[in-house]
A and B are shown apart, each in its own frame.
Chain A
Amino acid sequence: AQSVTQLGSHVSVSEGALVLLRCNYSSSVPPYLFWYVQYPNQGLQLLLKYTTGATLVKGINGFEAEFKKSETSFHLTKPSAHMSDAAEYFCAVTHSNSGYALNFGKGTSLLVTP
Chain B
Amino acid sequence: ETGVTQSPTHLIKTRGQQVTLRCSSQSGHNTVSWYQQALGQGPQFIFQYYREEENGRGNFPPRFSGLQFPNYSSELNVNALELDDSALYLCASSLGAEPTDTQYFGPGTRLTVL
A→B interface (CB under 8 Å): 32, 36, 41-46, 49, 51, 90, 92, 94-96, 98-107
Interface CB pairs A-B, < 8 A, 28: A36-B105, A41-B107, A42-B108, A43-B4, A43-B108, A44-B90, A44-B92, A46-B102, A49-B102, A51-B100, A90-B42, A94-B99, A95-B99, A98-B99, A99-B56, A99-B97, A99-B98, A99-B99, A100-B48, A100-B56, A101-B56, A101-B58, A102-B35, A102-B103, A103-B45, A104-B42, A106-B41, A107-B42
Bound: A106/B44 CA distance, A? 10
A106 in contact with B48 (CB, 8 Å)? no
In the complex, B2 has a CB within 8 A of chain A: yes
CB distance from A70 to the nearest CB of B (A): 23
B105 touches A45 (CB 8 A): yes
Interface size class of B (residues with CB under 8 A): 20 to 34
Cβ-based interface call for B66 (8 A): no
Chain B interfacial positions (CB closer than 8 Å to A): 2, 4, 31, 33, 35, 40-45, 48, 55-56, 58, 90, 92, 97-100, 102-108
Tell whether, in the assembled complex, residue B43 and residue A49 are in contact, meaning their CB atoms are under 8 Å apart. no
Q: Are A107 and B41 in contact (CB under 8 A)?
A: yes
- Pick the most buried of B102, B103, B104: most chain A CB atoms within 10 A of its CB: B103
Complex CA gap A98/B48 in Å reads: 12
